[in-house]
Structure 1
Amino acid sequence: MSAPSVSAALPLSARIAVVGAGAMGTGIAQVAAAAGHAVSLLDNRPDAAAHAVAAIRAQFARLADKGQLSADAAQAAASRLQAVTELAELADADLVIEAIVENLDAKQALYAALEALVGPDCLFATNTSSISVTAIAARLQRPERLAGLHFFNPAPLMALVEIVSGLATDPAVANTLFATAAAWGKTPVHAKSTPGFIVNRVARPYYAEALRLLQEGAADIATLDALLREAGGFRMGPFELMDLIGHDVNFAVTQSVWRAFYHDPRFTPSLIQQERVDAGFYGKKTGRGFYDYRDGAVRPLPHSEAAQPQPGTIVLYGSSPASQALAQRLGERGVAFAQAQASDARVADVDGATLFVSDGRSATQRAHDSGIANTVLLDLALDYRQASRLGVTVAEGCSDSAAQAAIGLLQAAGLAVSRLRDVPGLAVMRTVAMLANEAADAVNQSVCSATAVDAAMRLGVNYPLGPLAWAEQIGVGQVCAVLSHLAASYGEDRYRLSPLLQHHALTGKALS
């Protein structure tokens, strides 16, 4: 995706109108008023806009009390807000931001009415998270004036804004909105109007792989969540995050993206999540989801292997991140080990067990392919030096003593160990590989740039690294191997390799 030309932000004299006084519209109005614009807020529910304006003014006062705004700045920002009750009161707006119900007909009707009221230079922006910007603009006489301006909740706190261009969007309009969002203190990224835009598309594997792992009995929800947090470095595990978002919302987005991509298997919804929705177990807001939030409910703990004796003989191999981290961690704890080189990718030999980092095969498959019966696989960690937990899986023919020795090694290095059923790719490795694959496909299809997709996933959903930067850290060739082995194991198009990843693996060029 080529770099867009530079445009100036809307001047502070520009009047901003926000239609929709729900959580998103209220947050956007607060951001615009804080930036220095006069803001009119409209909602078709009686008194909703007035209540929202009062809430924003109270929030400015709280920020002043905390010293985050001066009293004068808070008062000035509050004075720039007004609640209006009629669409006609928005006739002098220079930018109208729509944050109403996620319904195409409703959005088209609103913009058609606005087009008859506002001036020819007024810009239209939709905060839709899932509806085609192209479709929203299709019935306008001048569809080129409309673009997506997708904030993330809560808008005053979240830095990311997706600037989404529909098929008819004038590039100058998108660039002006980009510059305006930046002037408002946000980090904007350009995206093309495709299903899910950037974040809601690229994030799908975070939920989908966890749900598949659960369906396959790889581990329980608490253990999978703990592995993604404590090894993967994600702020929340996938099941607790789905519970927080709400399964009604999360499942609806998954269905929307899946349908919009003509049932691409990469986005197939999960029957497990469908069951939660059917039961009304939406998560925190209903008291039950994957976890039970009702009074007196006990939060399940992740499974950790029982303590095993420290192995007698430890040999670490090569200079991989896992091997280097084990050497550092063992050294800090006074555990003796030897170091050597190996012709394969093994990380360690310990009392009969041979440890490798997952390459997307199951441990049993890898043992069969290598002839090493006592194969133990390690999951990916964001930083093996800092991880507090690590997932492992053991080949079917591995002896109990060898498995216990491998677990004892990791425990001696200060790691809690969670043993998974022998599924291909374990938990963190397959999740990160799929995130990188989806991010690469978005770039390959000119939805956004590599820089934009990494920024969007860090800022929009708080990933510890952008997916493409993470693929570089792992090694693009290794990510391709993981995906190819997953595809071979499952025989599904779901794990097909992005042409962009394959190209960069062959050429050695950086992704980001």
Structure 2
Amino acid sequence: MTALDTSTPVAVVGAGTMGAGIAQVAALAGHPVRLHDTRPGAATQAIDGIRDSLRALAAKGRLDAGQAESAARALRAADALADLESCGLVIEAIVERLDAKAALFGALEAIVAPDCLLATNTSSIPVTAIGAGLRHPGRLGGLHFFNPAPRMPLVEIVSGLDTAPATAQVLADTAAAWGKTPVLTRSTPGFIVNRVARPFYAEGLRLLQERALDPATLDHVMRTCGGFRMGPCELTDLIGQDINAAVSRSVWAAFHHAPRFEPSLLQQELVDGGRLGRKSGRGFHDYRPGAPVPAPRLAAPQPYPETLSIHGDSPLAQALASRLQARGVAFDAAPAADDARVARAGDAVLYLTDGRSATRRARDLNRPATLLLDLALDPMTAACLPLAAARQCPEPERLEAVGLLQAAGFDVAPIQDAPGMVVMRTVAMLANEAADTVHQGVCSAADLDLAMRLGVNYPLGPLDWCDRIGADTIGTVLAHLRDSDGERYRPCAALQSAIHSGKPLHDA
């Protein structure tokens, strides 16, 4: 292991929320820490805040009192960059502008020792560009923490074209010694997390724009059916609509306006209207005092259908059968049907979405009473299932389908007939972007899934999720989405390879 010795002084430039958080992490790891900011008094104020935070953690029993006091003593404000000359690592956490970062590292190169490592906490600017003007760019790498730095476990270790392998290794080992989980990535737009996460926001926002469902129902479905910690509306409200939109625009521009990264007009309207989320009081949801908590739109209770049948042994069919049995609801077990149906309730026939709309599938099958179910992370335990009906489906058959799902203990979220539905459409695009990212050599498959679980709290890594439900299923969903909505949904080469080879996506 090549982590920096704890006797090595570490400097952090930028005393904002992120810089202060990084300084706290380094101090708790045992390093002497120097915090610098160009704003008079900002570093001292930040250190006072860190010390208060450390003592509060100790008072609550979340941190050893001696460790808290030792870390508090390790922090010192640096009035000038020249005060950082003895440091062995300098981490930049200043404004997200290339010119400012490049100028800072140029100044630091004239101050620190030749063996001092330089690290940028940028979330979107290429490390190669930041270090382009340095005499020794090999000692510069990315050390991308996630907010809040003291609590979030993930750190992306970013290598530009000139970053020396030894630099990346020391940064990774040091992050691990600080109690973080490092993942290695090349300096490409968005690195791992900010690139691969774009479809989570983008597909949800497109569904809203298509009026398939409302924000409260979208968030509810992604949490209770998809297993995500937060839905896209509440998460972007937490991040800040302006910040999330800016990252989306940055990634879209960096990928030469590829359709899959196209920013949301709906989100931009929120930004233009000052509805930035929690920090402004309103975003997709209303956070002002006294505002009602938004409720999802769920189907009213319906009686059990007189006849129920479960077809085949797919995971969804098995879950429906098990949940009905647990509730004492009688049903017929039927063999798998040629049309891949999952269940039948009276005249209503239910299928797992394959990327086609229910209306198109009803036409293809010549069966008007066609209804679609969404992908669930775990259909045995999911609290809610979205249900979409073909436009030609009669109302009695819609209600029978609702009654079947409610009999199995699901809340039912009726949505408009959108291709790919909600969770399936999102997961398919996440898996496609993840596969393309690994295929381009940005990172390893293992690091990608780890980054998405730790960086944005996904219940499964996108590649693991794809391997669980099958690359062929993801490919079929994307092919049908592409038929209806264009090149945005084109399956990437790595996904197509996994489909043709039959190998798990991790091995494709």
TM-score (norm 2): 0.98
Paired position in structure 2 for 1:94: 88
The amino acid that maps onto 2:251 is V
**In 2, distance between residues paired with 1:439 and 1:70?**
40
Cα offsets for 1:230-289 (capped at 9, x unmatched): 101111110111111111100000000011111111111111111111111111111111
CA distance in 1, matches of 2:72, 2:239: 30
Query: Which residue matches 2:108?
Result: 114
**1:396 and 2:391 correspond:** yes
- Quick one: which of 456, 460, 468 aligns to 2:455? 460
SS at match of 1:323: helix
Q: Give the letter aligned to residue 441 of structure 2.
A: S
**CA separation in 2, counterparts of 1:91 and 1:8?**
22
Helix, strand or coil at the partner of 1:315: strand
d(CA) in 2 for partners of 1:162, 1:340: 50
State the match for 2:467 in structure 1: 472
Partner SS state of residue 185, structure 1: coil
1:225 aligns with 2:219: yes
Quote the residue 1:331 is aligned against: 325
Q: CA deviation at 1:347?
A: 0.6
- Aligned mates of 2:467, 2:313 — CA distance in 1: 17
The answer to whether the aligner puts 1:346 opposite 2:335 as a matched pair is no
Name which of structure 1's ranges 295-304 and 459-468 shifts more when overlaid on structure 2: 295-304
Q: Determine the C-alpha separation between the residues in 2 that align with 1:37 and 1:274.
A: 43
Q: Distance in 2 between matches of 1:360 and 1:259?
A: 28
Counterpart selection for 1:28 from 7, 17, 22: 22
Q: Which among 270, 273, 294 is matched to residue 288 of structure 2?
A: 294
Task: Give the SS at the match of 1:296.
Answer: coil
Aligned to 2:11: 17
Larger mean Cα displacement after TM superposition, 361-370 or 69-78: 69-78
Deviation at 1:379, TM superposition (A): 0.6
Question: Equivalent of 1:360, from 345, 355, 374?
Answer: 355
Deviations 1:457-499 (CA, angstroms, capped at 9, x unpaired): 1100111111111111111110111111100111x21111011
Q: Which moved more, 1:443-452 or 1:295-304?
A: 295-304
Cα displacement string for residues 427-455 of structure 1 (whole angstroms, at most 9, x for unaligned residues):
11101111111111110111111111111
The yes-or-no answer on 1:123 pairing with 2:117 is: yes
1:446 aligns with 2:479: no
One-letter amino acid matched to 1:19:
V
Q: Distance in 2 between matches of 1:130 and 1:331?
A: 51
SS across alignment from 2:295: coil
**Distance in 1 between residues matched to 2:291 and 2:57, nearest whole Å:** 36
What is the percent sequence identity of the aligned residues?
A: 60
1:145 aligns with 2:139: yes
**Letter of the aligned partner of 1:421 in structure 2?**
Q
- Which blocks of at least 5 consecutive residues in structure 2 are unaligned? none
**Where does residue 379 of structure 2 map in the other structure?**
384
Deviation digits for residues 132-158 of structure 1 (CA, Å, limit 9, x no counterpart) = 111000011111110100000000100
Equivalent-residue separation in structure 1 for 2:195 and 2:257 (angstroms): 14
Which AA in structure 2 matches 1:409?
Answer: L
User: Hey, what's the Cα distance between the residues in 2 that align with 1:71 and 1:313?
Assistant: 65
Deviating above 4 A after TM superposition, structure 1's stretches of 4 or more consecutive aligned residues are none
Shift of 1:319: 1.3
**CA deviation digits over 1:60-100, x for unaligned, max 9?**
21222222332222211111111111100000110000000
1:43 aligns with 2:37: yes
Partner of 1:11, secondary structure, is coil
Show the counterpart of 2:487: 493
Match of 1:178 in 2: 172
Listed as ranges, the matches of 1:189-268 within 5 Å are 189-268=183-262
Amino acid at match of 1:329: R
* Aligned equivalent of 2:420: 425
Matches of 2:52 and 2:414, distance apart in 1: 50
Q: What is the CA-CA distance between 1:123 and the residue it aligns to?
A: 0.5
The alignment partner of 2:183 has SS state of strand
2: distance between equivalents of 1:304 and 1:283? 25
Report Cα offsets for 1:218-239 as digits up to 9, x if no partner. 0111111111111011111101
Does the residue aligned with 1:249 lie in a helix, a strand or coil?
helix
Query: How far did residue 54 of structure 1 move?
Result: 1.4
**Structure 1 position 279 matched with structure 2 position 273:** yes
The one-letter amino acid paired with 1:63 is: L
Aligned CA-pair RMSD: 1.0
Q: Which deviates further from its counterpart, 285-294 or 128-137?
A: 285-294
Query: In structure 1, what is the Cα distance between the partners aligned to 2:4 and 2:499?
Result: 42
For 1:72 and 1:220, how far apart are their aligned partners in 2?
50
Where do residues 69-80 of structure 1 align in structure 2 (5 Å cutoff)?
69-80=63-74
Deviation of the 1:160 alpha carbon:
0.4
Question: d(CA) in 1 for partners of 2:474 and 2:8?
Answer: 48
Give the whole-Å Cα distance in 1 for the aligned partners of 2:294 and 2:176: 43
Please, which of 348, 366, 386 is the counterpart of residue 371 of structure 1?
366
Letter in 2 for 1:61: R
User: Hey, what does 1:3 align to over in structure 2?
Assistant: none
CA drift at 1:343: 2.6
Shift of 1:350: 1.4
Opposite residue 97 of structure 1, the aligned amino acid is I
Structure 1 position 329, deviation (Å): 0.8
Between the aligned partners of 2:264 and 2:473, the Cα distance in structure 1 is 27
- Once residues 175 and 229 of structure 2 are traced to their aligned partners in structure 1, the CA distance between those partners, rounded to angstroms, is 26
Query: Displacement of 1:213 after TM fit?
Result: 0.6
Q: Shift in Å at residue 506 of structure 1?
A: 1.6
Q: How many pairs were matched up?
A: 505
The corresponding residue for 2:161 is: 167
Question: Residue in 1 aligned with 2:97?
Answer: 103
